């Protein structure tokens, strides 16, 4: 159930809007349409809020906005050509690139967090091995459920006596 309106129309801004105007419009709409603050039914509010959030995420990123504007231009070109399929292949290719999730590289803080996580893992592993070594515990222990019990010589003798 896609909204036929463009992202600009959903946010109520012109195509020439700058980042500040885009953010102001999104904040105002998100306050009005958020499921926790609106009087709309919960399903409709969630859908509308999701739509404006997607529109904002697309338009706030310069690369995605440029691709989206090119898509709109191709769509308008296709509409003005009296039903002819001018640029349909290009339009569909652009639409697919907009749908794909754009992965961003990890930031410095995220890389540092992963580094610290790795160090903590190595420290805990070293600590566990160190304590095991100090206590004299084997590092490779066979679980009790895997060990085969050897028959006790006394138990065999008791069984033979009971049979007589």
Q: Which of 91, 99, 84 is nearest to 70 (CA)?
A: 91
Give me the pLDDT at residue 110, please: 93
Please, are residues 94 and 71 in contact by the beta-carbon 8 Å criterion? yes
| Cβ-based burial of 67 (10 A; exposed 0-12, middle 13-18, buried ≥19) | middle
SS3 of residue 121 by DSSP: helix
Give me the pLDDT at residue 112, please: 96
SS3 of residue 17 by DSSP: coil
The DSSP annotation for 128-143 comes to HHHHHHHHT--SS---
| pLDDT digits (tens), the chain, 164 positions | 455 678 888 888 998 889 999 999 999 888 888 878 878 888 888 888 889 999 899 899 989 999 888 888 888 777 765 554 444 455 555 555 555 555 778 899 999 999 999 999 999 999 999 998 899 887 777 777 777 776 665 655 555 555 65
Assess if CATH 3.60.21.10 describes domain 7-99.
no
Q: Where are the domains of the chain?
A: 7-99, 110-163
């Amino acid at each position: 159930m896609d909204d036929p309106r463009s992202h600009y129309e959903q946010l109520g801004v012109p195509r020439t809007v700058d980042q500040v105007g885009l953010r102001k419009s999104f904040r105002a709409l998100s306050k009005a349409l958020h499921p926790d603050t609106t009087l709309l039914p919960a399903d409709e509010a969630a859908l509308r809020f999701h739509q404006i959030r997607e529109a904002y995420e697309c338009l706030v990123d310069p690369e995605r906005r440029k691709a989206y504007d090119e898509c709109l231009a191709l769509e308008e070109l296709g509409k003005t050509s009296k039903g002819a399929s001018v640029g349909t292949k290009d339009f569909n290719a652009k639409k697919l690139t907009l749908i794909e999730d754009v992965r961003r590289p990890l930031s410095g803080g995220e890389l540092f967090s992963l580094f610290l996580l790795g160090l903590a893992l190595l420290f805990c592993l070293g600590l566990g091995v160190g304590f095991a070594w100090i206590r004299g515990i084997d590092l490779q222990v066979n679980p009790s459920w895997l060990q085969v019990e050897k028959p006790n010589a006394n138990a065999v003798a008791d069984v033979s006596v009971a049979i007589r």
